[in-house]
Structure 1
Amino acid sequence: MKIVDVICTPGLTGFYFDDQRAIKKGAGHDGFTYTGDTVTEGFTQVRQKGESISVMFILEDGQVSHGDCAAVQYSGAGGRDPLFLAQDFIPVIEKEIAPKLIGREITSFKAMAEEFDKMTVNGNRLHTAIRYGISQAILDAVAKTQKLTMAEVIRNEYNPGAELLPVAVFAQSGDDRYDNVDKMIIKEADVLPHALINHVEDKLGAKGEKLLEYVKWLRDRIIKLRVREDYAPIFHIDVYGTIGAAFDVNIKAMADYIQTLAEAANPFHLRIEGPMDVEDRQKQMEAMRDLRAELDGRGLSVELVADEWCNTVQDVKFFTDNKAGHMVQIKTPDLGGVNNIADAIMYCKANGMGAYCGGTCNETNRSAEVTTNIGIACGAKQVLAKPGMGVDEGMMIVKNEMNRVLALAGRRK
């Protein structure tokens, strides 16, 4: 089967691009948007619409495979590639990439994806978002050629012989951390609520008291609203480094506080994502490693999730090798080609680290479907309900895709 044409269309994502540097410098709020000047190159507003590019391969039998190029909410920050605007990058795909795809015979996913993931133009690698979308379309093309689901293709190439099973779905609330929890409970999310605890005074509390009260509320709310007594979701709370900020990155003090959270969450299991951000990759690894050792030494039923400074396949392996946390968030758009997602998940599993197939609210329905297939195929510990921050949409897209894939693969089995 050959690719006979490549077509690109601009699209929207499920959230927005935010100028993180401007926000950190004190950009003001005006309803849902921000006020003030932009700081990061490429931004025209502190918050602007999220953009994507759909890349469609026309196959010689008339079928169409496609993937979506998308980038994270805080593009251009933290060492990431620049702001991803469709008008800037469609010409790159059409001029530099399409000619190398048209007329190509579709072979294995891994070989083709790695080729384009490593491709350079004028000595520079392609934007991560382009590599992300092109590799999705390649995966879909291989699946259509082989008449399999994308999960089966990935399983056969990366995890041969494994049984395809459901993966826990993690819903995120955004700032609406109360009403959105009710949605999650009604729809029985496996993991919840994210909660967006990104400010010490307003959300964590100077001594952690506000988050502690929220965890108690969360526990009581689930017990009150759940229909089934055995519904016991995992608590996964992203604190964006605020625990470290509140407790001066003192390992014992942070562990003492996290222990109070774990006790408040009982009987539910607790995960804390990004407990600190020390603004350096090596030091972040060491802090996560030491905090994990302290918590494990106390025998606590709590897990740490690495996020800050863990953005690439190399970072995932670095944190995994050093036991810097109990789980790693694999930020799917930041890895470029989706082949890297499979590599990262399999490495985590082989080395005793929980693999969270995550991403960003600023993706599309298509990228969510593709990465869900990869999470199933590789046996990730959990996948993110995405895109958006409204709960319902992301849960619908991810859960429905998972159910379809498992039913189709099960029929063939």
Structure 2
Amino acid sequence: MQIKDVLLAPGNGAFFYDDQEAIRSGAIQDGFIYLGTPKTPEFNSIRVPASSLSVGLVLADDNVVWGDMINVQYSGAGGRDPLFDTNQISNLTSRVVAPRLLEVDASVFGTSCARVFEHVKGQRLPLAVEYGVSQALLRAAAHFQRKTMAEIVCLEFDLPLPTRRVPIYCQSGDAREINVDKMILKAVDVLPHGLINSRQKFGDGGQTFIEFVTWVATRTRQIGRPGYHPVLHFDVYGWIGQEIGLEPQRIADFICRVVDTVPGFTINIESPADFGSTQAQIENYAKIVSILDSRDSSARIVVDERCNTLDDIRLFAEARAAHLIQIKTPDVGSLADTAHAVLLCKENKVGAYVGGSCTETDLSAQASVHISVATQADMMLAKPGMGVDEAFSIVGNEQNRLLAMLNRRRAQEENIG
């Protein structure tokens, strides 16, 4: 299937790009903005409106399929690609990527991704480019073969048609209490993220954080429907290590203390500490996981920072340096790599969480749903944005529509058989 033309359209992400280093260093919030001088290269202010770039593939039958290029909220941190620059990305896409797209057979997803994403002068393309273009190529293959994007992934990786719904995880942003109530009323599977990204939110010795965990568990029991029992997931952005110290034993002790305050709940702790490099992160996270496992703790360690690409994910999974790996889709790049990453986690008996960022778009979120369901990930992020309602409806509705179509397809195949 020939691609006749490539269209580019600048757009907006659903949230903002934030300078994580400046926030960690104590930048003060004033309303919605942060006061102070940015510390991460290419940030002109600590909080910047998220920009995106849509890539449209004009197919032989004149249909146009789209994907969205975007970076994550904390760009430039933890080994990630720098801040998204629409003009630079547009220029590179026009010069390098578009000519390649015009030469591939877009009916074959994996092959077309491999060809288009070949290195340039020994360097990988920006991961945002891989991410957006792979979305468009996946939609092109689905259009040509008259299948869902999930079915294309199943064909590529020789997977059975999925039957299981993937649990959805919502994030609260700074509007914690209101958004936690929304999540509980909507019976979200995993909640609330919490955005524990500053000393003020973590508290002296972690006391403010522990009080928040206790409040979430209590609130769940107070207003949740009978039988509702979500997983509680908190992203602490390395603050346990910053406040308690970088000794794995002390970090594990603190996490056990948190878990003891809310008996009966499974607790996910994301990014408990940042050890400064991928190798140090692997070694020390593996120690924390081992300590928690030896105590039969209900806590699960989730890795994010320092675990970005498919190669990183392989290293963490093989070392069992987490109970659950966030496969942060814009940081992984190609959606083919995201699918491969989930399967790698499964091979190594490590949980696979298809994540991403609040900065994303409706198109990238919907494509991520198809990868998550096709590979039967352990959970997936409700995205984009920080408002709960919008993200939960985009991801949840896409999953329900997809499962309805897959059920119909399965019934047809059984009738033919």
TM-score range, shorter chain: over 0.9
Q: Aligned ranges for residues 65-104 of structure 1 at < 5 Å? A: 65-102=65-102, 104=104
Asked if structure 1 preserves the Cα contact closer than 8 Å seen for 2:78 and 2:305, the reply is no
Deviations 1:22-62 (A, max 9, x none): 43454443321123334444333322211111111111112
Deviates more, 1:366-375 or 1:18-27: 18-27
Q: Distance in 2 between matches of 1:252 and 1:26?
A: 27
- Amino acid aligned to 1:144: H
Q: Distance in 2 between matches of 1:76 and 1:401?
A: 31
Deviates more, 1:7-16 or 1:308-317: 308-317
Unpaired segments of 5 or more residues in structure 2? 411-417
In structure 1, the residue corresponding to 2:393 is in which secondary structure? helix
- Does residue 277 in structure 1 map to residue 274 in structure 2? yes
- Amino acid aligned to 2:129: I
Displacement, 1:302?
1.6
Q: Distance in 2 between matches of 1:30 and 1:159?
A: 51
Deviates more, 1:244-253 or 1:336-345: 244-253
Q: Distance in 2 between matches of 1:28 and 1:260?
A: 29
Asked if structure 2 preserves the Cα contact closer than 8 Å seen for 1:114 and 1:337, the reply is no
Q: Aligned ranges for residues 9-408 of structure 1 at < 5 Å? A: 9-102=9-102, 104-120=104-120, 122-200=121-199, 202-227=200-225, 229-408=226-405
Deviates more, 1:172-181 or 1:93-102: 93-102
Deviations 1:98-122 (A, max 9, x none): 12222543232111112223342x4
Displacement, 1:266?
2.2
TM-score, length-normalised on structure 2? Answer: 0.94
2:4 alignment partner in structure 1: 4
- Amino acid aligned to 1:339: A
Displacement, 1:345?
0.4
Deviations 1:228-261 (A, max 9, x none): x211110011111111222222333322222222
2:413 alignment partner in structure 1: none
- Amino acid aligned to 1:154: V
Q: Distance in 2 between matches of 1:381 and 1:18?
A: 28
Displacement, 1:124?
3.0
Deviates more, 1:131-140 or 1:19-28: 19-28
- Amino acid aligned to 1:15: F
Q: Distance in 2 between matches of 1:165 and 1:119?
A: 37
In structure 2, the residue corresponding to 1:125 is in which secondary structure? coil
C-alpha spacing 1:165/1:127, structure 2 compared with 1 (3 Å): same
In structure 1, the residue corresponding to 2:307 is in which secondary structure? coil
Deviates more, 1:126-135 or 1:33-42: 33-42
2:414 alignment partner in structure 1: none
In structure 1, the residue corresponding to 2:156 is in which secondary structure? helix
Q: Distance in 1 between matches of 2:136 and 2:71?
A: 16
- Amino acid aligned to 1:209: Q
Displacement, 1:63?
1.7
C-alpha spacing 1:281/1:141, structure 2 compared with 1 (3 Å): same
- Amino acid aligned to 1:224: Q
Deviates more, 1:203-212 or 1:177-186: 203-212
TM-score, length-normalised on structure 1? Answer: 0.95
Asked if structure 1 preserves the Cα contact closer than 8 Å seen for 2:151 and 2:161, the reply is no
Asked if structure 2 preserves the Cα contact closer than 8 Å seen for 1:116 and 1:135, the reply is no
CA RMSD of superposed structures (Å): 1.6
Deviates more, 1:93-102 or 1:372-381: 93-102
Q: Distance in 2 between matches of 1:6 and 1:346?
A: 31
Asked if structure 2 preserves the Cα contact closer than 8 Å seen for 1:114 and 1:339, the reply is no
Asked if structure 1 preserves the Cα contact closer than 8 Å seen for 2:107 and 2:145, the reply is no
Displacement, 1:364?
0.8
Deviates more, 1:186-195 or 1:37-46: 37-46
C-alpha spacing 1:125/1:15, structure 2 compared with 1 (3 Å): same
Asked if structure 1 preserves the Cα contact closer than 8 Å seen for 2:79 and 2:306, the reply is no
Q: Distance in 2 between matches of 1:170 and 1:381?
A: 10
Q: Distance in 2 between matches of 1:233 and 1:136?
A: 31
Deviates more, 1:389-398 or 1:161-170: 161-170
Q: Distance in 2 between matches of 1:280 and 1:102?
A: 39
In structure 2, the residue corresponding to 1:208 is in which secondary structure? helix
User: Percent sequence identity over matched residues?
Assistant: 42
Asked if structure 2 preserves the Cα contact closer than 8 Å seen for 1:356 and 1:380, the reply is yes
Deviations 1:313-360 (A, max 9, x none): 111111111111111011110111111101100000011000000111
C-alpha spacing 1:255/1:25, structure 2 compared with 1 (3 Å): closer
